[in-house]
């Protein structure tokens, strides 16, 4: 009999990438995890035996836990958190079900090591100040699919690599760093490739729009010109790069949902009917 506290692969997949995504915790045994060292997007690993130590940090959050097969460790871990007052579900079928459904999985060793953020670590990224398109899009992708607790530093272009070295941050979207433009692709494309998120058709289509707007190849998709216009307008509205980032996240939330759910929907002003 299915657990009343289960969430299916498809239900969880529709939450990931949105502001309503739950906290996802990988409870796999080390031996099981080492057979496939990848995690669900935004998930972090934690020892199942110590799961109750997270309760105070998670009490106001929605949580999903999973293990290799979604059985005893998931059931016990979820029950422990629920007993501590945390709204917790377990992923039906666990890691295996997610993998077998060909959903994106992120190699854990690709995620930059972070600093303590209470219940998990927080990665630190650094790029040029005054972001326009790619840098906001990349930050959105990182927050929504890699590390929800990620922090971003915006600094003078000439100091990005030095700041990265001194503060143990990951540089992106500047020349001569790992996460940057490659050929005709922009940094958003690079992140998709390196974190193995390019299996998502939705994210690939978002990437096309971002690439067209960021590289001034507006013929890649009809939406490229619109994203360019909105991004430049947003940059004029904010002097504070972090405030602009927070506002920009909503733009990419909306773009993601349009690509995923509303591409085939049109809109027209209905004619006014008059009685004869």
pLDDT per position as a tens digit, 6-51: 999 999 999 999 999 999 999 999 999 999 999 999 999 999 999 9
Q: What token pair was written down for 222?
A: 């009809």
pLDDT band (50, 70, 90) for residue 1? low
Instruction: Compute φ and ψ for 97, nearest 5 degrees.
Output: -65, -40
At 2 the pLDDT is 61
Name the 3-class secondary structure at 185: strand
Mean predicted confidence (pLDDT) in 231-260: 98
Burial state string for 103-120 with b = 16 or more CB within 10 A and e = fewer than 16: bbbbeeeebbebeebebb
Decide if 260 contacts 202 (C-beta within 8 A): yes
| Cα–Cα distance for residue pair 108/10, rounded to 1 Å | 22
At 170 the pLDDT is 98
| Cα–Cα distance for residue pair 69/172, rounded to 1 Å | 36
Decide if 45 contacts 39 (C-beta within 8 A): yes
User: Which of 37-41, 113-117, 175-179, 205-209 bottoms out in mean pLDDT, i.e. has the lowest?
Assistant: 113-117
At 119 the pLDDT is 82
Q: How do 121-122 and 23-26 pair as beta strands?
A: unpaired
Decide if 76 contacts 48 (C-beta within 8 A): yes
In the sheet that 6-7 helps form, which strands lie side by side, from edge to edge? Answer: 6-7, 87-91, 62-66, 23-26, 44-45
Mean predicted confidence (pLDDT) in 132-139: 98
For the chain, the first-to-last Cα distance in angstroms comes to 62
At 59 the pLDDT is 92
At 273 the pLDDT is 55
Which residue, chain included where needed, has tokens 């906290």?
23
**Model pTM score:** 0.95
Which residue, chain included where needed, has tokens 């005709």?
184
Q: Cα dihedral sign for 103, 106, 108, 111? A: negative
Which residue, chain included where needed, has tokens 């939406």?
223
At 117 the pLDDT is 73
DSSP lists the bridge partners of residue 196 as none
Residues whose CB is less than 8 angstroms from the CB of residue 63 and which lie 6 or more positions away in sequence, other chains included:
22, 23, 24, 25, 81, 86, 87, 88, 89
Decide if 117 contacts 149 (C-beta within 8 A): yes
At 270 the pLDDT is 75
Q: Where does 130-271 have alpha helices with state H?
A: 134-145, 160-167, 187-194, 201-214, 224-237, 241-257
All domains of the chain, ordered by start, with CATH? Answer: 6-107 (3.40.250.10), 111-262 (no CATH)
At 115 the pLDDT is 81
Residues whose CB is less than 8 angstroms from the CB of residue 184 and which lie 6 or more positions away in sequence, other chains included:
211, 215
At 142 the pLDDT is 98
Q: Is the pLDDT of residue 272 over 70?
A: no
At 267 the pLDDT is 85
Mean predicted confidence (pLDDT) in 67-83: 98
DSSP lists the bridge partners of residue 179 as 172
User: Which of 116-120, 158-162, 217-221, 258-262 bottoms out in mean pLDDT, i.e. has the lowest?
Assistant: 116-120
Share of the chain above pLDDT 90, in %: 91
């Amino acid at each position: 009999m299915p657990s009343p506290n289960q969430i299916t692969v498809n239900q969880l997949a529709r939450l990931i990438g949105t502001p309503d995504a739950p906290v996802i915790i990988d409870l796999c045994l080390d031996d099981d995890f080492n057979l496939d060292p990848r995690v669900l997007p935004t998930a972090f690993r934690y020892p199942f035996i110590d799961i109750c130590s997270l309760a105070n940090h998670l009490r106001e959050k929605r949580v999903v836990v999973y293990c290799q097969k979604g059985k005893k460790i998931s059931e016990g871990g979820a029950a422990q958190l629920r007993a501590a007052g945390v709204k917790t579900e377990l992923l039906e079928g666990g890691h295996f079900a997610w993998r077998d459904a060909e959903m994106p999985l992120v190699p854990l060793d690709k995620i930059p090591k972070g600093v303590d953020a209470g219940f998990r670590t927080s990665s630190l990224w650094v790029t040029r100040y005054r972001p326009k398109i790619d840098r906001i899009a990349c930050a959105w992708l990182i927050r929504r699919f890699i590390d929800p607790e990620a922090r971003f530093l915006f600094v003078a272009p000439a100091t990005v690599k030095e700041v990265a070295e001194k503060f143990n941050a990951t540089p992106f979207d500047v020349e001569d760093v790992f996460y940057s433009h490659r050929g005709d692709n922009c940094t958003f494309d690079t992140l998709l490739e390196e974190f193995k998120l390019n299996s998502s058709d939705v994210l690939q289509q978002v990437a096309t729009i971002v690439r067209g707007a960021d590289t001034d190849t507006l013929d890649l998709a009809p939406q490229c010109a619109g994203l360019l216009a909105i991004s430049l307008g947003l940059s004029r509205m904010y002097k504070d790069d972090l405030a602009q980032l927070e506002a920009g996240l909503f733009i990419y939330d909306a773009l993601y949902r349009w690509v995923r759910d509303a591409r085939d929907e049109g809109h027209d002003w209905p004619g006014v009917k008059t009685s004869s």
